[in-house]
Amino acid sequence: MSSLVIFLSVIAAVFIGAVSPGPSFVLVSRIAVSRSRKAGLAAAFGMGTGSVIFATLALFGLSALLMKVEWLYLALKIGGGLYLIYVGIRIWRSAADDLPMDAPATPAASGIRRNFLFALGTQLSNPKTAIFYGSIFAALLPAAPAPWLLFTVPPAVFLVEVGWYTVVTLAFSSNRPRALYVGSKLWIDRVAGAVIGALGARLGAEGLPRHIWR
């Protein structure tokens, strides 16, 4: 198999993983529809940055370390789960707050930075992402990949992730989705908070010792 085919196979697998529903999708779509297009794009870059960090670390063997040192993987799962639960609670508690209608037009620079860091933290909260990239690389990359693959895969991962969440942002920040959100903000935010919290609880539960569930 040529290096180009390997590269395209890796990127296709990354794209499939990116478009799969999860807390990242819920978070970016909510930011785009409730705040602004710029805030959504900042979140998209945060997701892309988190993914490229995990992809780069996976290339250097982080996924193998997590699989070998089980307690570290479980601890990261619990920590990531607690973070997602915290995010879910924040969204739930703010569901009843009125949406500032002038905010999307003129988002503050600090707000853009906060959305970037918030999305980055959400992406990095799930150590399963590192295992995902490690599994893809182990399955598709040869034992001695061409040097150009090692240099091009992480930037390509970044472009795929940012590209997908940019599409999500553009879709959810348009007038019609925003009007629907304004009319149903309470329940949309509560559903979003519940989904993210439930995903966090599931992730944290996976990190607990198995004998607890027996």
142 vs 120: CA distance, rounded Å: 30
Give the up-direction half-sphere exposure of residue 154: CA atoms within 13 A in the CB hemisphere: 15
Contact between 200 and 88 under an 8 Å Cβ cutoff? The reply is yes
Q: What pLDDT, on a 0 to 100 scale, did the predictor assign at position 156?
A: 93
Contact between 29 and 168 under an 8 Å Cβ cutoff? The reply is yes
Q: What pLDDT, on a 0 to 100 scale, did the predictor assign at position 71?
A: 72
Q: What pLDDT, on a 0 to 100 scale, did the predictor assign at position 130?
A: 74
214 vs 208: CA distance, rounded Å: 12
* 163 Cβ neighbours under 8 A, 6+ residues apart: none
* 170 Cβ neighbours under 8 A, 6+ residues apart: 32, 37
Q: What pLDDT, on a 0 to 100 scale, did the predictor assign at position 106?
A: 38
Q: At 209, is the secondary structure helix, strand, or coil? A: coil
Instruction: Give the dihedral sign, CA 73/75/78/84.
Output: negative
Residues lower than pLDDT 70 in the chain: 1, 21, 62-69, 72-73, 95, 97-110, 138-139, 143-144, 178, 181-183, 185, 207, 209-214
Contact between 49 and 180 under an 8 Å Cβ cutoff? The reply is no
Q: Which tokens sit at 143?
A: 């034992």
The conformation of residue 126, written as its DSSP 8-state character, comes to -
Q: What is the pTM of this model?
A: 0.71
